[in-house]
Amino acid sequence: MAAALAAEEKLFARIAEDLLANSWSVLPACLPTALSTALQQQLHSMGTIDFSPAGIGRGTDHAVVAQVRRDEILWIEGATAAEREWLDWSGRLQSYLNRRLFLGLFSFESHFAHYGPGAFYRKHLDAFKAQSNLDAAGGDGTNRVVSLVAYFNSQWQPEDGGELVLYAADGNMEVGRVTPALGTLVVFLSEDIPHEVLPAQRDRFSIAGWYRINQTRHGRTDPPR
């Protein structure tokens, strides 16, 4: 138990140091094994019937969305023991990052994502700096500050594609390429690191999550839940 806590503290410290130094962190096979296998098992047993095509911002045309991303998603609400364990773990990382980096992270949202053969997600940012200004004026930003991605694919081969590519803030220089293998974690600053998912050649499962700051003001609740 004490050893597990020490291992967790070490992992969280590594993430915080990487974020400080580079704005991103890639840690292969780092999610606790019991947690990754429980989530992988859930993904295998539930199938993708309840997943819905992912969107890009409110009210974007379906044809436009399909140019940008082809994954399907299911929000994680804590319906199973594995989901609750995931929410507990990501909550502890949130507290750690707040303690170490004073980020003021307020809430966390996450979803399972399934990329079928041929699915991709074009280069994008998870949040926009300008949006913080818009928010102050009453816009509808996402408040996302830190992005977290975890992978649940065993025996992923180079020919399976589906890598996550991370870019420097200018959006041109590739700084990292991630194989979506079981237990691999990726953490980055949502406003600073453009990234894309290359076309997958077989079913690819991940969780994408975001820590958000609280921008509730003038009686307007933001984030909404």
CB of 44 to ligand OGA, least distance (A): 17
**Residue 195 found at the interface with ligand OGA (CB under 6 A):** yes
**Residue 71 found at the interface with Mn ion (CB under 5 A):** no
Q: With beta carbons less than 8 A apart as the criterion, state whether 187 and 14 touch.
A: no
**Residue 149 found at the interface with ligand OGA (CB under 6 A):** yes
Between the CA of residue 35 and those of 29, 78, 188, 206, 215, what are the distances in Å? Answer: 12, 14, 21, 13, 32
Gap between the Cα atoms of 99 and 178, Å rounded: 28
**Residue 192 found at the interface with ligand OGA (CB under 6 A):** no
DSSP at 169: T
How many residues bind Mn ion, per CB under 5 A?
1
Considering only residues 119 to 158 of the shown chain, the ones binding Mn ion according to CB under 5 A are: 126
Residue 113, binding choice from ligand OGA, Mn ion, none, Cβ under 5 to 8 Å by partner class: ligand OGA
Backbone angles phi, psi at 47, to 5 degrees: 65, -170
Residue 71-100 contact track with ligand OGA, rule CB under 6 A, x = bound: ------------------------------
Closest to Mn ion by CB, 9 or 174: 174
Q: Which two tokens stand for residue 50?
A: 């309840």
